[in-house]
Structure 1
Amino acid sequence: MLDTFAKLLCEHARVRPDRPAMRHKDLGIWHTWTWREMAETIRAYAAGLRDLGLERGATVAVIGENRPAMYWTILAAQWLGAIPVPVYADAVADEMAYVLGHAEVGFAVVQDQEQVDKLLAIQDQVPKLRVVLYDEPRGLRDYDHSRLHAVSGIIEKGRTLLASDPAVAAAIDAERDRGNGDDISIILYTSGTTGRSKGVLLSAGRSIAAARDTVAFDKLTDRDEVLAYLPLAWVGDHYLNYAQSLVSGFCVACPESRETVETNLQEIGPTFYFAPPRVFEALLTRVTIRMEDAGALKRRMFDYFIGLARRWGEKILDGDKVPLTARLGYGLGNLLVYAPLKNVLGFSRIRVAYTAGEAIGPDLFSFYRSLGINLKQLYGQTEAFLYVTAHPDGHIRVGTVGLATPNVDIRITEEGEVLYRSPGQFIGYYKDEERTAETVTPEGYVRTGDAGFFDEDGHLTIIDRAKDVGRLRSGAMFAPKYIENKLKFFPNIKEAVAFGQDSDFVTCMLNIDLTAVGNWAERNNIPYASYQELAQRPEVYAICAGHVAEVNRALAAEPRMAAAQIRRFLILHKELDADDGEMTRTQKVRRGFIAERYKPLVDALYNGAEAADISTEVTFEDGRKGVISARVKITDAATVETGRLEVAA
């Protein structure tokens, strides 16, 4: 029975031995491993790890970028019945120490010297850690290798053991066969939006069942290919790339580095693709900037055919009836504009693309779909292993996250909270029975903590975190994330944090997008030397004021949200950063932490001040601490009242 990932790996090696399983670009050259080669490598890796003392049930930290050795570590650990624990590669020392300590990690496999140094710095906090393996040897020659081993060396040791001792080979195969669907296959730690991360226990059988459902849903096969650039520790990578690949047999390509993802995307041309809204926004910003630099004729041609695509593209994509002239015009546009644009973006071969994590602006969503890209939205959670809802092909509802995916049962409580049961549902939180009991109902439904509702066709709309949906002092509804998402639909606004619970009115803090606003400043001959300087320019405040006014118009048109219009706002003097604790590693704002950290600014938003002084401690890339001080401007926003646009007093 193919109920573990190690068994699926060996089945692919038997059924499609010469099909590509994984690629990696290293030193400018793409390297490819077939399913047979990958299975042989992971079998040897498992033998080497067993020789080092890795046993069934032990936990193994995996810390690094998307590289074959990191994925092989996960598979080799699962082969032996050990439990991989991926950790965000950019986690600071305290975050890493918490996860490794909580998971009682004895083995850690890391990418390079940077991660080795982090482990050495926290070794006193993780006393059970006794073995460290590394993938890249650069800079590690003079380190103490009594507990430090090269992954390549352990794989070679495993090959030698398998070739020289039949008993070892039999034992390794027996460990694989001993595994079953009830085994814990991985521990994924949540982003920790409101506190310490929780370790989510996922079983092999449930994970595979969930992946089988969505592989069938999107008709994925061994002819598909993905580019794996999402964080290893995030459920999205483990599901979309790892689990679906081992179920369907498609090829996973690893980029050369984080900096080369866009270039590698063009080279690979994936057929299945996922990106959060901010990535699609950044790509469109890049396209817009390039078109501003183009000649007049090219700009006019681009604008004309993009206009044509916005009118007819989505209907053609969904198979709706459109006039012959529209099809002919769209075909010409595809030849001259759409196809070259998709090629530049690396989207030429995409059959299915998803976005999730945050709401995506309707204009942005429609832009990509109008080009013929089958972009859809999904809604999921780590506890669900991953999908709860998704848009089926041809049944897209902008502003919703789709219908319940196959074999997922969703309920909405009287309080408006979304509950679900799913095939991949988690077993529980590691060492936290109390939180598990709070999250799973007696009927077996998982509480998402999100507030939402169904439309008449069964599409789910998520409003906000249920605990964050509050009230203004007047009793009017206040949904901060809903407001923040509307603000972030504008390319110039990267992040937003709204305040208003139990207050007389709503205020917000903004982060500008340095790329988009910086490009605008350069074109308008507005000098600036830093983010801080640009953010406080009056011209930038004027731009953001216009965006806030548009959001207020939209809120005014919604009876439930009309009273939650933004009355005052400011632009923060620094970008919100996960290293400073202001965001999670999955880029979700920690609203409570921000309110406390920037209390002088929050107070000023409500006391009528026109500016406020703030000093903020920041963490630099090398781990050093510093302080940024600034005088932050605060301005009133235009609001809509009784059908007129007025400036709030």
Structure 2
Amino acid sequence: MQPEQRQPHAIGDIALHPHWQSHDHLIHWLVYNAEHHGHEVALRERRRGIWQSYTWRQYLDEVLALAAGLEALGVEPGDRVLVIGDNRPALYFGMLAAIALRALPSPAYPDTPPEELRGQLETESIRCALVEDQEQVDKLLTIRAAGYGALDHILYDDPRGLEQAPPPGARAIAALSAQGRARFSAEPGLRAALQERTSVHAPAVLLHSSGTTGRPKGIPLKHGHIIAAVRNASRAGYFREGEVHMAYLPMAWVGDFIFSVGAAILLRFCVHIPEQQETALHDLREIAPTLYFGSPRAWSSMLTRIQVGIKESSPLKRALYAHFMPFAERLERDRLEGRRPAPWRRLWRGVGEVLMFGPLKDQLGLRRVARPYTAGDAMGEDVFLFFRALGLDLRQFYGQTENCALCVAQDPGSVSLHTAGRPFPGVELRISDEGEILMRADNVFDGYFDNPEATAETLRAGWMHTGDAGQLEADGQLVVLGRLSEVVYTNTGERFIPTYIENRLKFSDYIREACVLGRERDFLAALVVIDSEAVGHWAQINGVPYTSFADLSQKPEVYALVRAEVARVNALLPPALAIRSFVNLHKAFDPDDGEVTRTRKLRRDVIDAHYAPIIESLYAGRDSIEYEARIGYETGASGTLKRHLAIARVNADRIAEEA
């Protein structure tokens, strides 16, 4: 770590935020909760079908015991500690234990391959790792065997497969916790000392950018940044004390740390951890959260499951859904456009709540959700309207890892289909002359890890340059247009932002991913990845047989389905920016192939290289291409597989006709 980051009260840190109080940090508030709310449940985990609970007092005990154990291993202030695995109490305890020592937990996505993970280990000189299970232990042993010898300690939560003969340097987290407790008996003042080691000015976590254009950048967030973000959001009514929250999103994502750690400690959330990622939606019904975040993709997938379930339900349920759902959507659209519904319509909506909406929300586990949110990609209007019509106050927010993800959100009374909302209290926002969104606030980070050039580019004259293009409406609401770096031009000089068009394509239930082409080309084209669940169900209903994803994607009926969706989007665009050709890809974009980041953001240069023959065919006027697809195996071997891909045209006449 940089020298100035290794000191808990470095003069430079205090000068950046002189109004921060040194004791106002996450460990202080964890201690406060243990002392004043010790018997309240802080965290629950479903383990082998049974919910296990930790009170705030037990939470603190686990954190301090692990902190004492980590210190005994030699973890020092400024050290980076890798955290990798699915959401588990022991990993959250371990992160906070490292924080108590003024070390930095550095989470990684569970599916990060060894070669990518090694880059993180080397860049951050990581010597200690907290992992979930044998799968992650084996991954780190592979990295160690390949030449990274600095990894001294691998601490695992799940001992299955490791109990009999743990590999050298590997040890159970439970054993380390026991060692820490033994230290408390031998060193009476240690427990109290660990509670006071850190400071509001110390970094609390080392997160990472998505890495769409290169290696991900390290983003240290200090206690003060995190606490300011949570308090700003709480002042805006975004969070409430005592929320019931489900921690199921990747621990490497900023939102999980802010929701499941930062806000959970400051506002005493009761955090629930599902048994597995695969059981999260089932466990949601038992958890019945009051706060729920889902990505646009997650909400869209939930809608698809609802629609499939309704089609397979009884005639009475189908009839109730067919009547009340369109009625509620029209009602919600009127509300969003400022028209007050007539009394009889509100009364009939109440009848629908009893007969259909309430039972459906109960089935989903969303009946108690008072604050449902989404962020990231733009959400389809149909999806957004559906869940609001269902009776959920679904709202969007906007932020990045560099500003703790909490900067702008929609107010309950001014939700719009095309805006991200207004800045939270304490957040200043403006648009530069170049159209870039700039912001400044206490929750904006102080610089990238060991990357002064990137820091100087992002933090200028007291403002954070987000890299996003946007505009402010007359009422102060922010409209986010896309990445400023992605503003490109066609050969004819037409300016466009690919992500804007891609998001509108993904509003379709049938399109999971899309990459819009056209930079320095005569017209726009697209690589499309169909949604296997939605299109597969459509094929079943319409009698279209198929054997695999690749086979389904190439069916003429599916091309007609996707062509209609492309025509719908073209109708919203200027004629010069209409998509003229597209291809349904035989596979989804794969993070293991480097085509997308772990957060599903496109790496355009990699896609351009991997699909170069297909792209050239799109612009060469061909009707199809025999494409040799690269495939990888779990053993690390690779091969090729020939695929016949059709190329579809969407001409101007057809655009007008189908739109």
Q: Same fold (TM over 0.5)?
A: yes
Cα shift at 1:171 = 2.9
Partner of 1:614: 627
Partner of 1:558: none
Provide Cα deviations, 1:252-278, integer angstroms capped at 9, x if missing partner.
111100100100111101111111111
Letter in 1 for 2:173: V
Q: Tell whether 2:47 aligns with 1:26.
A: yes
Distance 2:119 2:653 in 1: 47
Provide Cα deviations, 1:154-179, integer angstroms capped at 9, x if missing partner.
112212221x22x3x42342233131
In 1, are the aligned partners of 2:43 and 2:270 still within 8 Å (CA)? yes
Partner of 2:24: 3
Matches within 5 A, 1:295-314: 295-313=314-332
Distance 1:392 1:440 in 2: 28
Per mean C-alpha deviation after superposition, the further-off stretch among 288-297 and 511-520 is 288-297
Q: Say what the alpha-carbon RMSD is for the aligned residues.
A: 1.9
Cα shift at 1:298 = 2.2
Distance 1:316 1:498 in 2: 34
Q: Tell whether 2:612 aligns with 1:605.
A: no
- Of 50, 75, 82, which residue of structure 2 is paired with 1:54? 75
Partner of 1:509: 527
What is the SS of the residue equivalent to 1:303? Answer: helix
Provide Cα deviations, 1:308-347, integer angstroms capped at 9, x if missing partner.
2112247779998432211211111001110111111111
Letter in 2 for 1:478: F
Letter in 1 for 2:527: M
What is the SS of the residue equivalent to 1:612? Answer: strand
Structure 1 residues 89 and 624, CA, compared in 2 at 3 Å: closer, same or farther?
Answer: farther
In 2, are the aligned partners of 1:198 and 1:429 still within 8 Å (CA)? yes
Q: Tell whether 2:553 aligns with 1:535.
A: yes
Partner of 1:268: 287
Distance 2:297 2:593 in 1: 20
What is the SS of the residue equivalent to 1:122? Answer: helix
Partner of 2:113: 92
Provide Cα deviations, 1:216-252, integer angstroms capped at 9, x if missing partner.
3226344311101111011111112211111101111
- Of 584, 589, 606, which residue of structure 2 is paired with 1:593? 606
Partner of 2:386: 367
Distance 1:380 1:258 in 2: 25
Q: Tell whether 2:61 aligns with 1:40.
A: yes
Per mean C-alpha deviation after superposition, the further-off stretch among 298-307 and 84-93 is 298-307
In 2, are the aligned partners of 1:221 and 1:249 still within 8 Å (CA)? no
Structure 1 residues 112 and 155, CA, compared in 2 at 3 Å: closer, same or farther?
Answer: same
Structure 1 residues 592 and 140, CA, compared in 2 at 3 Å: closer, same or farther?
Answer: same
Letter in 1 for 2:508: F
- Of 158, 168, 177, which residue of structure 2 is paired with 1:136? 158
Matches within 5 A, 1:289-368: 289-313=308-332, 321-368=340-387
Distance 1:319 1:504 in 2: 42
Distance 2:338 2:27 in 1: 40
Cα shift at 1:619 = 3.5
What is the SS of the residue equivalent to 1:177? Answer: coil
In 1, are the aligned partners of 2:64 and 2:194 still within 8 Å (CA)? no
Distance 1:563 1:440 in 2: 37
Partner of 2:14: none
Per mean C-alpha deviation after superposition, the further-off stretch among 607-616 and 129-138 is 607-616
Provide Cα deviations, 1:435-474, integer angstroms capped at 9, x if missing partner.
1111111x12111111111112111111121111111111
In 2, are the aligned partners of 1:552 and 1:638 still within 8 Å (CA)? no
Letter in 2 for 1:327: R
- Of 134, 140, 149, which residue of structure 2 is paired with 1:127? 149
What is the SS of the residue equivalent to 1:60? Answer: strand
Per mean C-alpha deviation after superposition, the further-off stretch among 255-264 and 295-304 is 295-304
Matches within 5 A, 1:460-499: 460-499=478-517
Query: Scaled by the length of structure 2, what TM-score is found?
Result: 0.93
Provide Cα deviations, 1:333-378, integer angstroms capped at 9, x if missing partner.
0011101111111111101111111000112101111111111101
Distance 2:537 2:106 in 1: 41
Matches within 5 A, 1:413-424: 413-424=432-443
Q: Tell whether 2:592 aligns with 1:579.
A: yes
Distance 2:336 2:497 in 1: 34
Partner of 2:304: 285
Per mean C-alpha deviation after superposition, the further-off stretch among 358-367 and 140-149 is 140-149
Letter in 1 for 2:628: S
Partner of 1:149: 171
Q: Tell whether 2:648 aligns with 1:635.
A: yes
Cα shift at 1:66 = 0.6
Structure 1 residues 206 and 509, CA, compared in 2 at 3 Å: closer, same or farther?
Answer: same
Cα shift at 1:192 = 0.7
In 2, are the aligned partners of 1:313 and 1:372 still within 8 Å (CA)? no
Distance 1:631 1:565 in 2: 26
Provide Cα deviations, 1:278-331, integer angstroms capped at 9, x if missing partner.
111111101111111123332121111112211224777999843221121111
Structure 1 residues 156 and 11, CA, compared in 2 at 3 Å: closer, same or farther?
Answer: same
Distance 2:28 2:88 in 1: 22
What is the SS of the residue equivalent to 1:278? Answer: helix
Distance 1:367 1:412 in 2: 32
Cα shift at 1:395 = 1.3
Partner of 2:239: 220
Query: Scaled by the length of structure 1, what TM-score is found?
Result: 0.95
| Count of residue pairs the alignment pairs up | 637
Q: Tell whether 2:84 aligns with 1:63.
A: yes
Partner of 1:439: 458
Letter in 2 for 1:600: P
Partner of 2:471: 453
Letter in 2 for 1:386: A
Matches within 5 A, 1:381-392: 381-392=400-411
Partner of 2:193: 174
Letter in 1 for 2:414: H
Structure 1 residues 107 and 637, CA, compared in 2 at 3 Å: closer, same or farther?
Answer: same
Distance 1:537 1:46 in 2: 57
Partner of 1:12: 33
Structure 1 residues 576 and 244, CA, compared in 2 at 3 Å: closer, same or farther?
Answer: same
Partner of 1:523: 541
Cα shift at 1:146 = 3.9
Letter in 2 for 1:460: L
Partner of 2:15: none
Provide Cα deviations, 1:163-209, integer angstroms capped at 9, x if missing partner.
x22x3x42342233131111111110111111110000111112111
Partner of 1:427: 446
Structure 1 residues 621 and 226, CA, compared in 2 at 3 Å: closer, same or farther?
Answer: farther
Per mean C-alpha deviation after superposition, the further-off stretch among 139-148 and 367-376 is 139-148
Letter in 1 for 2:224: G
Matches within 5 A, 1:185-264: 185-218=204-237, 220-264=239-283
Distance 1:218 1:530 in 2: 47
Partner of 1:158: 180
Distance 2:251 2:62 in 1: 20
Distance 1:330 1:402 in 2: 27
Letter in 2 for 1:140: L
Per mean C-alpha deviation after superposition, the further-off stretch among 347-356 and 152-161 is 152-161
Cα shift at 1:600 = 0.4
Cα shift at 1:109 = 0.6
Per mean C-alpha deviation after superposition, the further-off stretch among 355-364 and 172-181 is 172-181
Structure 1 residues 607 and 446, CA, compared in 2 at 3 Å: closer, same or farther?
Answer: same
Distance 1:216 1:247 in 2: 13
- Of 552, 560, 567, which residue of structure 1 is paired with 2:580? 567
Letter in 1 for 2:647: I
Letter in 1 for 2:246: L
Cα shift at 1:639 = 3.2
What is the SS of the residue equivalent to 1:428? Answer: coil
Cα shift at 1:626 = 4.1
For structure 2, list consecutive stretches of 5 or more residues without a partner in the other structure: 1-20
